[in-house]
A and B are shown apart, each in its own frame.
Chain A
Amino acid sequence: ETGVTQTPRHLVMGMTNKKSLKCEQHLGHNAMYWYKQSAKKPLELMFVYNFKEQTENNSVPSRFSPECPNSSHLFLHLHTLQPEDSALYLCASSQDQGLSLGNTIYFGEGSWLTVV
């Protein structure tokens, strides 16, 4: 257990569906992240939230919509996805966004998403 919990662990959705991924951290951290891991590619940073404010959006298509209601919860809302969006989506957290200060980042178990 890393203190970061993701649900659901597996999700299959059609291209016209709307679904959400949920992440909760029990570490008292202030920064939360969404990463995407596709086959044969490095992990890609999607979004960063620091103290509930979005501070980074790495050119992610609008069909992915993040929401951070508080420092402990992070959602990724999905709508009209494409088959190429099928991937492992990983949530992570750190004490704050300043990783240069020596903060360790902790990952959840990931949500395996398949778009059909």
Chain B
Amino acid sequence: GIQVEQSPPDLILQEGANSTLRCNFSDSVNNLQWFHQNPWGQLINLFYIPSGTKQNGRLSATTVATERYSLLYISSSQTTDSGVYFCAVSGGGADGLTFGKGTHLIIQP
């Protein structure tokens, strides 16, 4: 199956800083989603982005499908941005999404 690698595994930043999270995947995908998991376990959809670029407020994402990677940008970080960010992909098979191990982001005040 598809392999998903996320980097960095851990990231500690001060409030106001910008960050870039990366997701590499091993095969072509038809579905790629970024999620934010809050400390209570809730997974929140951030972007559906199998290719191209999208922006939503301080967050934006870019997927270069031909090079098999996606980037999540967080600008002007806030403490509420803390949590784990997951990239998940589907190659078009009958199963659900395959998740990476996530990037654990801590934003310090």
Question: Could you tell me which A residues sit within 8 Å of B by CB distance?
Answer: 2, 33, 35, 37, 41-43, 45, 48, 55-56, 58, 88, 90, 92, 97, 99-107, 109-110, 112
Point out the residues of chain B lying under 8 angstroms from A42, CB to CB.
4, 98-102
**Given contacts A41-B101, A42-B102, A107-B35, are A99 and B42 in contact (CB under 8 A)?**
no
Residue of A nearest to B31 (CB): A99
Question: Could you tell me which B residues sit within 8 Å of A by CB distance?
Answer: 4, 30-31, 33, 35, 40-45, 48, 50, 86, 88, 90-102
Q: Which of these, A37, A99, A110, contacts B96 with CB under 8 Å?
A: A99
Report how far A64 CA is from B29 CA in the complex, Å: 30
Point out the residues of chain A lying under 8 angstroms from B45, CB to CB.
2, 104-107
Report how far A82 CA is from B100 CA in the complex, Å: 26
Contact at A56–B43, with CB atoms within 8 Å? Answer: no
A74 CB to nearest chain B CB (Å)? 13
**Given contacts A33-B96, A56-B95, are A110 and B90 in contact (CB under 8 A)?**
no
| Additional A-B contact list (12), CB under 8 Å, known A2-B42, A42-B98 | A37-B41, A42-B101, A43-B88, A43-B99, A45-B95, A90-B41, A99-B30, A99-B97, A100-B90, A100-B92, A102-B30, A103-B31
